[in-house]
């Protein structure tokens, strides 16, 4: 197996793209007038119903291969619904209403943020088939608002191929695959407006660039104030491949910290599958060598409760099922995951002959086989199947119909191993490995929606949307970095907390230094939150006004907030009235004045005595407040030095 920590991404031909799905802030759902709110209490659901799904022909008269695989799963889908956020549209009992125009405008604004050169002048709604049960209609309504955009990543332009607007899918309730083939969804999320941003996979050459691309897209969605906030509003899918491999889509990659380990382990998997393909060819194997012959070996195991045990022969494949394709995962387990998802038989009820070898890879996996096959049973199977020296076998245990179906899918998957890496949609696991989710969909799954007429986008509407576009994240970073030496980390906090407008207000309108404004907006609230004080934005605004009018100095903020915390005073102004002028010790005030003096022109301080006297007195006055008397000033100035003392006393 290729070492995942020693990968030359350029040499191996790594390419990756990303699809970011982000819910849009709106007053209604995309194709009906229900509010886009989720139901947290299961007891509030008013009714439920169930459906079965089947594939339909595409525009060219073909079935989409992915749809056929979904149909094979044979799911019964149960839906829970609540009347306050669900209507007959979500039940697929009513045609769609007119799409929400405010959402369409926001989609165009996003396309402009992404520098799309081709904005839609006519919205054409399409249907995208889904048979996993997440959409009651069996298809998702979606449309393009912009194409051919870009974002900068590490000094190069990464192309954004499409910006879509579409309806979100229903929320799945049970995530465990069961033999009952039943899944359950809540309909509250179905229909909430969603944007899908798709990048060009040819422009990304390593995981670090992919991570930065995801950050840039996220920054735009935040800075535009179009994306919703909260858990579950963003879903990211990654498309990646290597030279000689194939495009694989990995679903649900939420944590950016997982990008690197995911990419490395997927590279290892594809590289291993390519090597297995070459070895199969070297052994002279062809697809016709793998036949759908299944032998009943139940008498060897004597299972109970109607369970059957079947085996199938795989000629000249000894040692290949045990090849490690990802850390602690062999080729056999890779195949069994697909069989499990389609047929419902747990992967633990599958067994391959390479598990009989000393210290097999699968024994270290999270899903070792639980079939009781020891050397004695293995000899009996070997004799019954009449295997040759280099042959391999697979055993499946379960209800007869499902077990035979499982072996059928295993034989089909072994045949495709001759072609190398199959195009698949996969699911990310906690350890960074992936498992089969479904066959990747083709162009046959998308066709025009006959229920919604085209929507003309006028030039006036496009110009109106352009006026809503603020500075882009990279432009803001360049500006703040040049002015205040802000890091990307600091700018990200301002974008994430939606504090950029306040920063510009504080610095441009109230004259605050950028670094002080950042501390008040980001660092101070976070620090005080850990101490038990939840600062509101109105309180920070009051603090800034007090500082800008020189009613207090920044060094008095902590003392002032201690009063707020201790006396439970909401108003910063009220707390400022209680601020004691003697709250700082004489030595502390002296040091403070010295720091302030250092901010002025030092050469003039040394030569112009009247200037030094004037500056010192003004600073002392600002520190002590207007009520500070000469005695207090004398005590402070004494700490600064005799020369300063005499000058300030004369003043």
pLDDT tens digit string along 219-246? Answer: 999 999 999 988 889 999 999 999 999 9
Q: Cβ neighbours of residue 456 under 8 Å, at least 6 residues apart?
A: 121, 122
Q: Is the predicted pLDDT of residue 381 greater than 50, yes or no?
A: yes
| Residues 114 and 235 reside in one and the same domain | yes
Shortest CA distance to 16 belongs to which of 252, 240, 245? 240
Instruction: Please give the pLDDT value at position 627.
Output: 43
Between 69 and 488, name the one with better pLDDT.
Answer: 488
Compute the residue count for the chain.
Answer: 651
Residues 6+ apart with CB under 8 A from 299: none
What are the structure tokens assigned to 583, written together? 């709250």
Q: Which two tokens stand for residue 552?
A: 């207090």
Whether residue 412 has pLDDT greater than 90 = yes
**Prediction pTM value:** 0.83
- Same-domain check for residues 250 and 290: no
Q: Kindly tell me if the per-residue pLDDT of 179 is higher than 90.
A: no
Q: Identify the band that residue 74 occupies on the pLDDT scale cut at 50, 70 and 90.
A: confident
Q: State the pLDDT at residue 592.
A: 63
Average of per-residue pLDDT across 543-572: 79
Domain match, 569 and 537 both = yes
State pLDDT tens for residues 337-348.
Answer: 999 988 989 999
Residue 32 lies in a domain: yes
To the nearest 10°, the Cα dihedral for 567, 569, 575, 577?
Answer: -90
Q: Are 21 and 158 contained in the same domain?
A: yes
**Does the pLDDT value for residue 291 go beyond 50?**
yes
Candidates 4, 14, 444, 16; CA nearest to 237 is 16
**pLDDT at position 573, please?**
76
Domain presence at residue 460: no
Q: Is the dihedral of CA 385, 389, 390, 394 positive or negative?
A: positive
* Residues near 165 by beta carbon (within 8 Å), at least 6 away in sequence: 24, 30, 103, 104, 107, 142, 143, 145, 193, 194, 195, 196
Higher pLDDT, 627 or 600: 600
Report the relative pairing of strands 193-199 and 446-448 from DSSP bridges. unpaired
Strand partners, 408: none
107 and 182 assigned to the same domain: yes
Burial class (CB in 10 A: 0-12, 13-18, 19+), 164: buried
Structural domain count, the chain: 4
77 alpha-carbon distance from chain centroid: 27
Radius of gyration in angstroms for the set of CA atoms belonging to the chain, rounded to a whole number: 33
Rounded to an integer, the average pLDDT of 282-311 is 94
Judgement on whether residues 242 and 336 belong to the same structural domain of the protein: no
The neighbouring-strand residues paired with 314 are: 392
Which pLDDT does position 605 carry in this prediction? 62
Query: What does the pLDDT read at residue 138?
Result: 87
pLDDT at 649 over 70: no
What backbone torsions phi and psi does residue 150 show, to the nearest 5 degrees?
-165, 160
Between 187 and 604, whose confidence is greater? Answer: 187
Does residue 345 sit within a domain? yes
Question: What is the dihedral sign for C-alpha 215, 216, 218, 223?
Answer: positive
CA 223 to chain centre: 17
DSSP-based three-state secondary structure for 194: strand
| CATH number of the domain to which 295 belongs | 3.30.1360.30
For the record, the structure tokens of 477 come out as 């970073």
The pLDDT value given to residue 631: 43
Residue 475 has a pLDDT of 96
Same domain for 247 and 363, yes or no, is no
Counting Cα atoms < 13 Å in the Cβ hemisphere of 421 gives 25
Give the pLDDT score at 181.
77
pLDDT higher for 601 or 466?
466
Q: What is the pLDDT of residues 187-213, one digit of tens each?
A: 999 999 999 999 999 999 999 999 999
Is 57 within the bounds of a domain?
Answer: yes
Return the percentage of the chain with pLDDT > 90, whole number.
Answer: 65
Q: Kindly report the average pLDDT of the chain as a whole number.
A: 87
pLDDT of residue 129: 83
**How far does CA 436 lie from the centroid of its chain?**
20
The answer to whether the CB of 84 falls within 8 A of the CB of 112 is no
Closest by CA position to 350, among listed 375, 328, 370: 370
In this prediction, residues 299-321 reach a mean pLDDT of 94
Question: Does residue 437 lie within any of the structural domains?
Answer: no
Task: Give the pLDDT confidence score for residue 444 in this predicted structure.
Answer: 65
Tell me, yes or no, whether 16 and 133 share the same domain: yes
Q: What is the pLDDT of residue 407?
A: 96
Q: What is the mean predicted confidence (pLDDT) over 451-460?
A: 95
When pLDDT is cut at 50, 70 and 90, the band that residue 183 belongs to is confident
Burial track 345-358 (b if 16+ CB lie within 10 A, e otherwise): bbbebbbbbbbbee
| Start-end of H helices in 519-650 | 524-530, 537-548, 557-567, 572-577, 586-597, 602-607, 609-624, 630-640, 642-650
Q: Is the dihedral of CA 36, 40, 46, 48 positive or negative?
A: positive
Residue 486 sits in the same domain as residue 549: yes
- pLDDT of res. 107: 97
- Report whether pLDDT(584) > 80: no
Q: Which residue has the tokens 């990756």?
A: 16
Residue 166 lies in a domain: yes
Which of 374-378, 400-404, 439-443 is least confident?
439-443
pLDDT score, position 282: 97
Give residue 625's pLDDT band: very low, low, confident or very high (50, 70, 90).
low
Query: Do 495 and 591 sit in the same domain of this protein?
Result: no
Distance CA 248, CA 239 (A): 6
In the prediction, which pLDDT does 650 show? 46
Q: What percent of the chain has pLDDT over 70?
A: 86
What pLDDT score was predicted for residue 218? 94
> pLDDT (tens digit, 9 = 90+) per residue, 100-141?
999 999 999 999 999 999 999 999 999 988 878 899 998 999
In order, the DSSP letters of 107-162 are: HHHHHHHTT-SEE-SEE--EEEE--SSSSTTSEEEEEEEEEEEEEEETTEEEEEEE
Residue 379 burial (CB < 10 Å; 0-12/13-18/19+)?
Answer: exposed
- For the segment 553-581, the average pLDDT, to the nearest whole number, is 74
Residue span of the structural domain in which 568 resides: 471-579
Instruction: Read off the DSSP letter of residue 381.
Output: H
* pLDDT value at residue 495: 94
In the block, tokens 């009520």 appear at 627
pLDDT for 352 beyond 50: yes
pLDDT of residue 569: 63
Residues 543, 184: Cα–Cα separation, whole Å: 51
Assess if residue 116 is contained within a domain: yes
Q: What is the pLDDT of residue 560?
A: 81
| Predicted pLDDT at 216 | 96
Indicate whether 464 belongs to any domain: no
Q: What is the pLDDT of residue 558?
A: 81
Q: How many CB atoms within 10 Å of residue 606?
A: 9
Q: Within this chain, do residues 313 and 272 fall inside the same structural domain, yes or no?
A: no
272 and 172 share a domain? yes
What is the pLDDT, as a whole number, of residue 610?
67
Neighbours of 448 (CB within 10 A): 12
**pLDDT for position 595:** 67
Structure tokens at 414: 């072994």
Q: Examine the pLDDT at 648 and tell me if it is beyond 50.
A: no
pLDDT at site 421: 96
pLDDT of residue 587 exceeding 70, the answer is no
């Amino acid at each position: 197996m290729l070492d995942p920590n020693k990968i030359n991404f350029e040499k191996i031909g790594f390419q990756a793209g990303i699809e970011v799905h982000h819910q849009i802030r709106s007053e209604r759902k995309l194709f009906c007038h229900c509010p886009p709110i989720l139901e947290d209490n299961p007891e509030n659901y008013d009714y439920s119903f169930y459906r079965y799904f089947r594939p339909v022909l595409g525009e060219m008269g073909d079935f989409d291969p992915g749809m056929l695989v979904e149909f094979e799963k044979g799911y019964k889908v149960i839906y829970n619904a609540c009347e306050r956020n669900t209507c007959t549209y979500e039940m697929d009992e009513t045609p769609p209403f007119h799409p929400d125009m405010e959402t369409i405008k926001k989609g165009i604004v996003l396309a402009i943020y992404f520098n799309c050169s081709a904005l839609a002048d006519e919205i054409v709604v399409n249907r995208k088939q889904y048979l996993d049960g997440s959409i009651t209609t069996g298809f998702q309504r979606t449309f393009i608002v912009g194409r051919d955009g870009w974002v900068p990543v590490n000094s190069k332009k990464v192309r954004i191929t499409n910006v879509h607007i579409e309806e979100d899918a229903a929320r799945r309730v049970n995530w465990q695959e069961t033999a009952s083939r039943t899944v359950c969804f809540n309909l509250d999320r179905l229909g909430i407006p969603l944007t899908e941003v798709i990048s060009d996979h040819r422009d990304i050459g390593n995981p670090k660039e992919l991570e930065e691309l995801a950050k840039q897209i996220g920054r735009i969605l935040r800075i535009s104030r179009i994306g919703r906030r909260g858990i579950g509003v963003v879903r990211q899918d990654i498309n990646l491949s290597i030279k000689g491999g194939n495009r694989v889509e990995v679903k649900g990659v939420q944590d950016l910290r997982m990008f690197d380990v995911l990419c490395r382990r997927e590279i290892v998997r594809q590289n291993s599958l390519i090597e297995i393909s070459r070895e199969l060819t070297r052994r002279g194997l062809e697809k016709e060598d793998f036949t759908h012959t299944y032998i009943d070996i139940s008498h060897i195991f004597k299972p109970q409760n109607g369970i059957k045990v079947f085996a199938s022969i795989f000629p000249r494949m000894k040692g290949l099922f045990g090849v490690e394709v990802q850390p602690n995962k062999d080729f056999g387990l890779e195949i069994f995951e697909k069989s499990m998802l389609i047929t419902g038989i747990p992967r633990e009820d599958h067994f391959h002959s390479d598990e009989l070898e000393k210290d097999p890879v699968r024994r270290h996996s999270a899903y070792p086989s639980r079939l009781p096959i020891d050397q004695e049973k293995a000899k009996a199977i070997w004799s019954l199947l009449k295997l040759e020296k280099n042959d391999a076998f697979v055993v499946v245990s379960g209800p007869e119909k499902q077990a035979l179906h499982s072996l059928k899918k295993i034989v089909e998957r072994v045949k495709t191993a001759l072609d190398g890496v199959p195009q698949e949609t996969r699911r990310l696991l906690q350890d960074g490995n992936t498992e089969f989710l479904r066959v990747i969909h083709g162009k046959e799954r998308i066709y025009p929606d006959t229920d919604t007429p085209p929507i003309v986008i006028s030039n006036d509407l496009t110009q109106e949307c352009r006026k809503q576009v603020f500075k882009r994240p990279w432009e803001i970073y360049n500006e703040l970095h040049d002015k205040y030496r802000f890091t990307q980390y600091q700018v990200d906090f301002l974008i994430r907390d939606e504090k950029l407008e306040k920063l510009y207000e504080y610095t441009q309108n109230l004259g605050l230094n950028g670094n002080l404004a950042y501390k008040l907006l980001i660092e101070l609230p976070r620090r005080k939150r850990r101490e038990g004080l939840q600062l509101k934005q109105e309180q920070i605004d009051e603090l800034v006004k007090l500082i800008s009018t020189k009613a207090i100095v920044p060094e008095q903020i902590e003392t002032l907030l201690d009063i707020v915390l201790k006396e439970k005073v909401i108003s910063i102004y009220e707390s400022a009235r209680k601020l004691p002028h003697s709250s700082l010790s004489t030595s502390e005030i002296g040091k403070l004045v010295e720091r302030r003096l250092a901010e002025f022109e030092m050469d003039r301080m040394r030569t112009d005595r009247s200037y030094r006297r004037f500056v010192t007195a003004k600073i002392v006055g600002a520190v002590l407040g207007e009520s500070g008397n000469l005695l207090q000033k004398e005590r402070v100035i004494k700490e600064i030095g005799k020369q300063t003392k005499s000058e300030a006393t004369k003043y």
